[in-house]
Amino acid sequence: MTKPDCDVAVLGAGLAGAAAACICSDHGLSTVVLEARDRVGGRGFTRNFAGTAEALEFGGSWIAPWHDRIRRYAERTGITLRPTHPVIEHRWHDGEMLRKGLPPPDLALQAVKEHALLYKAGKPFPWTGPLTLNQYLERIKADPETRAHVLAWWTISGNGDPAYISASEFLSSCAYGDGSPESMMTALRHTLVPGVGVLAERMIASSKARLELNAPVASVSQNSNGVTVTCMNGTMVKARAAICAMPLNALRFVE
C-alpha cells in the first residue's frame, strides 16, 4: 500500500471545510484542504474598503444568538464580535420609487407572521406540497406594495430567485425574529472583526492543514486503500478518507 499524503482530504475551504480541518486536527488527524479559488472562505469573503482599513463583507457576515459554533471558532482564533447597528429606519424600493417606513399592516403580512411562527414551532403549514415564494405571495393575496416590501427584505436576507426559492426558506428567515419580514435583520446581533473571511483563514491555519489553492477538484476515486483526489491543475492527493465541503452547485463538475 502506498503511504497516503494525509489522513483526510477536505474538499473546499469555506467555513464548512475550515471547520472540518479543525475537527480533524482536534482528533490528531493530518489534513490537506483543496480549494478551487485563490482564497479561502467560500461565501465568507472579506476585503478592505477602498483606501481604508475598514473591513467590507461581500458574503455572509451576520451572527445570530444561536450561532454557537461560529462563536466558539471566533473565540478560538482571536476573532472578536461587534454588535450590529440597530435598525432605526426602513427604506425599500417597490420597483418604481424608494419608500420610507413600513407598509401598513394587512392580512398578507399577518399571514406571513403566522406562517413563520408555525415554522418556528415545528408545526405544519396550512397547505400541502411545495410552494415557491412567488406562489406563496399569490396564495396570501399580497398586494403590490406588500410584495415589494417582502422581496426587498428577502433580497437582503436570502437573495434567491422568488420564482424558484421555496416559501419555507423565506418563512424560516422570518422565524429568526418575531415572524415579520423585517425581523430577519433585527435578529442578527453581531458581525466578526476583522471579518468572516479572516475567520476561515485562521481556522485552517490553526488546524495545521496543508492548504492547496487554485485546485478545483476534478475527480474522487475510492478503493480498499483509501481515496485519491485529482484536481484540474494536476494536483493529486491520496488520503485515508475524504470530507466533501463543496457547495452543491459545484459537485456536478466532479467525477
**Three-state secondary structure string covering 150-200:** HHHHHHHHCCCCCCCCEHHHHHHHHCCCCCCCCHHHHCCCEEEECCHHHHH
Q: Are 192 and 74 in contact (CB under 8 A)?
A: yes
What is the average pLDDT across 40-53?
86
Cβ neighbors of 19 (< 8 A, separation 6 or more) are: 69, 73, 203
What is the average pLDDT across 239-253?
92
What pLDDT, on the 0 to 100 scale, is given for residue 152? 85
Q: What's the chain's average pLDDT?
A: 90
What is the average pLDDT across 80-94?
83
Domain 6-81+195-253 is classified in which CATH homologous superfamily?
FAD/NAD(P)-binding domain (3.50.50.60)
Q: Residue count of the chain, please give it.
A: 255
| Distance from the first to the final alpha carbon of the chain | 24
Per residue in 187-202, pLDDT tens?
788 989 888 999 999 9
Dihedral (CA of 39, 42, 44, 50) sign: positive
What pLDDT, on the 0 to 100 scale, is given for residue 206? 96
Residue 1: pLDDT above 60?
A: no
Model's pTM, two decimal places? 0.79
Cβ neighbors of 110 (< 8 A, separation 6 or more) are: none
Residue 196 burial by Cβ neighbours in a 10 Å radius (0-12, 13-18, 19+): buried
Count Cα neighbours of 20 within 13 Å in the Cβ-side half-sphere. Answer: 23
Confidence band, pLDDT 50/70/90 cuts, at residue 109: very high
- Mutual orientation of helices 167-174 and 144-157 as an angle, nearest 10°? 80
**CA distances from residue 44 to 13, 36, 87, 126, 190 in whole angstroms, order as listed:** 10, 15, 23, 36, 15
What pLDDT, on the 0 to 100 scale, is given for residue 97? 84
Confidence band, pLDDT 50/70/90 cuts, at residue 85: confident
The C-alpha atoms of residue 188 and residue 84 are separated, in whole angstroms, by 8
What is the average pLDDT across 85-112?
84
**pLDDT higher for 94 or 150?**
150
The winner for highest mean pLDDT among 60-64, 136-140, 164-168, 181-185 is 136-140
Q: What are phi and psi of 66, to 5 degrees?
A: -95, 5
Query: Mapping DSSP to helix (H, G, I), strand (E, B) and coil, where does residue 74 land?
Result: helix
110-124, 168-182, 231-245: lowest mean pLDDT where?
Answer: 168-182
Per residue in 120-173, pLDDT tens?
999 999 988 899 999 999 999 999 889 998 988 888 777 788 999 999 989 988
Per residue in 14-38, pLDDT tens?
999 999 999 999 999 999 999 999 9
Strand partners, 1: none
What is the average pLDDT across 91-117?
87
